[in-house]
Amino acid sequence: MEHQTSHLTTIQTPVVVNAAYPLYTDDFESGNNWVLVNGTQPNAWTLGTATHNGSSHSLYISSDGGTSNIYTNHRNTVYATKVFSLEANEYNVQYDWKAYGEQGYDHMRVFLVPADISIIATTQTSLIYTTGVPSVWSGAFAIDGNTQLNLSNTWKTLTSTVNVPASGNYMVVFSWQNDNNPPANPPAAVDNFSIQYVSCTAPTDLQAGEITTSSATLTWTAQASASSATTYNVRYGVASDFDLEDASTYTEVTNVTSPLEVTGLFHSTVYTFSVQTVCSLVQES
């Protein structure tokens, strides 16, 4: 939709109306405080550049200090964990993964676990089931499709929905276990991790009005299901350059409400606007 005024300023809206961007994302480029529970085990989680699915880093198992995404036939179970403060709500957890390993014995599992549960690296492999959740982890949820992740040496994307019944601190736990048979490389690797509310939905009816040579006033309508939404983020840029995946192509204003006056626009230029719902944020704890 184009809006024109006597000043000949042209602003295009709506072109993009987005649902909430993921509340937490991690491409492992900066580490972001993942706790690597490896103990003294040789097949250990590491953050490095040996494999990745975009950018240059990922989280993966290595037996040579991160140089390679390989493992040996030393029996062990190790973990990579990160604690989040979550509200009682329904979430989508998504990540890219690959792992080969010996069928039934060498595999990755992924869980959401109450943060007060002790996680310890071990030479045992019986603590991580091929399906289900370890009984010693009371209140934990599988976020891996409730099955072992292995037998794939190419990247796949997995999305799991989990209903967190009570607000509190929870750990995302990536586990890797292997036995003492000859390795079937590569072992586990993880990239592009994110958490997003299921109920956090896109606003609608994005409109631009009160257009001048250098400004416009945006208005939009919240969706009733976005019950946790209190504010919004707005991204805008010249339409021919605008790319939600490239921050250099847009300007972003955060934690705003409708109506919003956007200023500093160029005369006679087509713009694209995107409004993002901000529900109560997932916080690193």
Same domain membership, residue 59 and residue 76: yes
Same domain membership, residue 113 and residue 39: yes
pLDDT per position as a tens digit, 43-86: 999 999 999 999 899 999 999 999 999 999 999 999 999 999 88
Q: CB of 104 within 8 A of CB of 120?
A: no
pLDDT of residue 196: 82
Same domain membership, residue 204 and residue 142: no
Same domain membership, residue 130 and residue 262: no
Same domain membership, residue 29 and residue 142: yes
Report CA Rg, the chain: 23
Same domain membership, residue 83 and residue 10: no
pLDDT of residue 224: 53
Same domain membership, residue 193 and residue 60: yes
Decide which of 197, 214, 233 is a domain's last residue: 197
Rounded Cα distance, 10 and 231, in Å: 27
pLDDT per position as a tens digit, 108-159: 999 999 999 999 999 987 767 778 898 889 999 999 999 999 999 999 999 9
User: Residue 247: what are its φ and ψ, rounded to 5°?
Assistant: -65, -20
Range of the domain at 214: 2-20+200-284
Same domain membership, residue 238 and residue 147: no
pLDDT of residue 81: 96
Prior bond to 165 cis, omega within 30? no
Rounded Cα distance, 255 and 271, in Å: 21
Domain count, the chain: 2
Same domain membership, residue 57 and residue 182: yes
Same domain membership, residue 181 and residue 61: yes
Decide which of 155, 178, 197 is a domain's last residue: 197
Q: How many CA atoms lie within 13 A of 197 on its CB side?
A: 24
DSSP, residue by residue, 88-149: SEEEEEEEEEEE---TTTSEEEEEEEETTS----BS--SSS-SSS--TTSTT-EE-SSSS-B
Assign 246 a pLDDT band (cuts: 50, 70, 90). confident
Assign 229 a pLDDT band (cuts: 50, 70, 90). low
Same domain membership, residue 36 and residue 173: yes
pLDDT per position as a tens digit, 74-92: 999 999 999 998 888 888 8
Q: Look up the CATH number of the domain holding residue 134.
A: 2.60.120.200
Rounded Cα distance, 284 and 198, in Å: 19
pLDDT(17) > 50: no
Assign 245 a pLDDT band (cuts: 50, 70, 90). confident
